[in-house]
Amino acid sequence: MTQQKKLETHQLHFVLIPFMAPGHILPMVDIATLLARQNLKVTILTTPLNAVRIRATIKSEIRSGSTGLHLQLFKFPNAEAGLPDGCESFDALPSTDLRFNFMKALFMLQKPLEQIFEKLNPAPTCVIYDPYLPSAASVAKKFGVPGITFDGTNCFRMLCDHNLRSSKVHEEDVASDENSSEQIIIVPGLPHKVEFKRSHLHLFFNITTKLNVEYREKVWEAEEEAYGVIVNSFEELESEYLKEYKKVTGKKVYCVGPVSLSIKDNMDKSQRGNNIDSNEEQQHNEYLKWLDSWPERSVIYVCFGTLNCVPPEQLMELGLGLEATKRPFILVLRGGYKRDEMEKILKEDGLEERVKGRGLIIRGWVPQVLILSHAAIGAFLTHCGWNSTLEGISRGVPLVTFPMFSDQFYNEKVIVDVMKIGVRLGAESSMNYGEEDGYGVKVKREKLKEVIEKVMVEEEEESETIRERAKKLAEKANKAMEKGGSSRLNMSVLIEDIMMQKQQDIGLN
């Protein structure tokens, strides 16, 4: 029977299913908290060990009043896929060779997800899923729930890849010799001329294995079948690319970022992505005290993300470049990849002892949002992961770019060519995950010193222009997330669209 009333927001149930890697989970949790603040029921589906990383954030959000936020766990098929126990996240793999086993595990998730969906109460109104989890898309389709994709990239990257796929220009005149990776590809149908080396395109355009082809097709299918797309970006950042992407795909696109700006409290910033204990909290306080001791815009922050596999010899060369700048710096070393080899090189060289007091070398996870929010940070040397890029943009920090793989070369173009808020370090060779051996040293210490000067010397016109652009862009980013801002409005539009879909399904008017 048709009821003469409208749905209330508390009758909606959003289910979010992130890909198991920090760069995908963290922004999706931020989106979940933003939705929960709108009087919605929101459920995040993930595995037990991934839940450890986000539980503190969820508890804090519930304490602040978002009582509709929930966490639902499912078992990751480690044994069935040939993975060691504890490998429930891409960054937890002890060897990059296991990435194919991890991919196999992703194909096995449909049954455990279906079992959860059958028990969810109320039934999901909308599923926000990462397209790199094709099983999630299949479950949404089976249960007849509108699916919306979120993969943590931007409109620029999505439009580039869409146009490459539809035009197949990347398949034309493929050189058969060893220099094919250097072939220049001009992406058609963009507001501005954009060209890439073939090796700088997304991994899906440079596939070499059958399993990767199968996975790619499933991911693209998940994207195409979705009702809409959520983007961790803001309209003022890439309006032309947003407009064109909507036009060529016909999809609803909701720019709701930068979602990391939803975190206001310093303790929440400190715990984002890691359930810290009292000792870690004290360590974070020490980082802030150290930053407090330096003038505004004087410290170089260097971090290459959770999946970085920069070879130790290249990291060491960058460390020596930081030493040569004579400026204070923070250098973050990933805890896992070739850790012993890196520690051996550091010890033999004595870098850490020589820069003591002026340079902090941190092992493992750091509270990046908290660090970037500090006034002492004057430049951010980044791998150009989109989360890191946006976190730098949101805080008005000039960027120095060192991309390695995936969407990172795309993001470098946004930083340097579109927004002009940073400078390339000169990393011209891609360093695909699992194929790092043989990369060697591509960027010398002298180059790092030169580039740092371009963004940090106060009296230089170029650096002043970059800093001013970065500051203005940060103001736009923050305004987008405030009441009446474009991203806040887009979040409301998303909820209204899903409400209308639900009303049509149950015959309300």
Query: Which among 508, 208, 448, 463 has a CA at the least distance from the CA of 326?
Result: 448
Residue-wise DSSP of 178-213 = TTGGG-EEEPSS-SS--EEEGGGS-GGGS--SHHHH
The encoded tokens of residue 358 equal 């002026």
Query: What is the spatial distance between Cα 237 and Cα 124, in angstroms, rounded to a whole number?
Result: 32
Q: Are 495 and 489 in contact (CB under 8 A)?
A: no
Is 130 known to be catalytic? Answer: yes
Given 13, 30, 130, 151, the catalytic residue: 130
Query: What is the spatial distance between Cα 152 and Cα 426, in angstroms, rounded to a whole number?
Result: 25
Which one-letter DSSP state was computed for residue 261?
A: G
Query: What is the spatial distance between Cα 321 and Cα 310, in angstroms, rounded to a whole number?
Result: 15
Residue type, position 124, single letter: P
Contacts of 191 (CB under 8 A, 6+ apart): 240, 241, 244
E strand or H helix that includes residue 242: helix 239-249
Where b means 16+ CB within 10 Å and e means fewer, 242-265 reads bebbeeebebbbbbbbbbbbbbee
Query: What is the spatial distance between Cα 242 and Cα 340, in angstroms, rounded to a whole number?
Result: 44
Given 24, 202, 284, 374, the catalytic residue: 24
Q: Are 254 and 229 in contact (CB under 8 A)?
A: yes
The encoded tokens of residue 44 equal 């995040």
Q: Supply the angle between the helices 99-107 and 210-225 in degrees, to the nearest 10.
A: 40
Is 13 known to be catalytic? Answer: no
- By annotation, the residues acting in catalysis are 24, 130
